[in-house]
Amino acid sequence: MTCNICANRLDKPVYESETSLTSVFDIFPQPTRVRICGSCGHLQTDEIENAAAFYDTEYTFLTESEEEDHIYEVRDSNKIYRTDHQVAVLQRKLELDADTKILDYGCAKSSMMWTLQKDEPALRPFLYDVSDCYVPFWEKFAEPSNWAVYEIPSSWDGNFDVVTSFFSLEHITRPVEVVDQITRLLTPGGVFYGIVPNVLTNSADLIVIDHVNHFTRSSLDCLLTSAGLVVQEIAADTHRGAFVFLAKRPIESTGATWTANEKEIVATSRVLCELAEFWSSAAARLRDAEQDTTNDGELAVYGASFHGAFIKSCLLRPERIRCFIDRNPFLQSGDLGGVPILPPDDLPQDVRNIFVGLNPLHAREVIENVAAFSGRDLSFIYI
């Protein structure tokens, strides 16, 4: 077992799951095993079996409609959606105009380019993904000659001012090959701009089975530098729970190689071990709390996304969950694993226990600000 980033040999797993969940909240029949690279500080999950088939046919991301999206945050009762936040950050960091040749790599339905084009109608974005299930979305704003599925034509090499990658490198089993390809696609002086989850601030990323890569600042730096790019920025404070990075293809190759900062790798590895311990004991802690709720009112789970699905997968009697509660209107008419998703105002009166399926870093603050819960006799159970 070797590191996807620096090819160093990996040690035995620091985390091994009982039940595994995918990033689209399905149970996956293979243990999640996570290992640390002591050389570049990368955190890596063993590859899922038949990964190509999984992404081609089973993995569909937000394909209910063009508008369907995740909530990034709720500020003064206003919901800010993830795509809108990402577009705002991208426009702040890069000067894009109608002439910018931009490729969204691993783009899914590319809500980013769809949204960007509303601001810049003359923009002609290029799109690439490893599944053709998103083509019906692309047809609405791009030209067929500007998209590729499965393979990228060699005529695209050296063509792009900007290549973007929004939450895709974490899925890719050979990120070195992909970033080498992205570097080739860029024109000299062109920029690779991307976002990947930051496991240090969004710790549940550690237990997502199809996130084979969990980047740290050092492993991301290693990946980009080793591809011949010059890292301009790796920001941990621009997008909550994620790294936003910018790296430039130099006009002429610099021949620079990546060297590790030993202190940083040791410190990173220590924190990653602590996170692995937290998640290793999470299922047992949730089941203990479940036992304490027996016959003491009905159960609900707050958060109908990954954390909520994780809670459901851990409980001894998940059939006790009456409903999921979520503020995202795109989720509220649906269900998660057959359990209905309701807005906070519709929480049934006989529910007394709420498991909180949110990022543990922000969970308490979010719950304190749910107006519909104030004055109710509710017990909250955190992961």
Contact residues: Zn ion, CB under 5 A: 3, 5-6, 8, 37, 39-40, 42
- Count of CB atoms within 10 A of residue 111's CB? 24
- CA-based nearest residue to 127, from 156, 98, 154: 156
Q: How far is the CB of 36 from Zn ion (least distance, A)?
A: 9
Per the listing, tokens 């999984």 go with 54
CB of 40 to Zn ion, least distance (A): 3
CB 272, min distance to Zn ion, A: 12
Q: CB-wise, 37 or 123, nearer to Zn ion?
A: 37
Q: How far is the CB of 225 from Zn ion (least distance, A)?
A: 13
Could you give the angle at which helices 262-280 and 217-226 cross, rounded to 10 degrees? 130
**Joined tokens for residue 116:** 């960007």
Closest by Cα among 269, 185, 291 to 219: 269
CB of 212 to Zn ion, least distance (A): 13
Q: Which is nearer to Zn ion, 157 or 177 (CB)?
A: 177
Q: Which is nearer to Zn ion, 42 or 82 (CB)?
A: 42
Q: In the sheet that 186-197 helps form, which strands lie side by side, from edge to edge?
A: 147-149, 126-129, 102-105, 160-166, 186-197, 242-248, 230-235
Min dist CB 15 to Zn ion, Å, is: 17
If the CB atoms of residues 172 and 363 are measured against Zn ion, the closer one turns out to be 172
Nearer to Zn ion, 37 or 196 (CB): 37
Length of the chain: 383
Give CA–CA dist 84/273, Å, rounded: 34
> Closer to Zn ion at the Cβ: 39 or 83?
39
Task: Locate 205 and state its tokens.
Answer: 């990323």
* Whether 52 contacts 130, CB under 8 Å: yes
- Give the shortest CB-219-to-Zn ion separation in angstroms: 6
**8 vs 60 by CB, closer to Zn ion:** 8
What is the smallest separation between the CB atom of 381 and Zn ion, expressed in angstroms?
Answer: 37
Sequential DSSP letters for 174-238: -HHHHHHHHHHHEEEEEEEEEEEE-TTTSGGGGGBTT--EE--HHHHHHHHHHTT-EEEEEESSS
Nearest to Zn ion of 5, 163 (CB atom): 5
In the block, tokens 């998940």 appear at 318
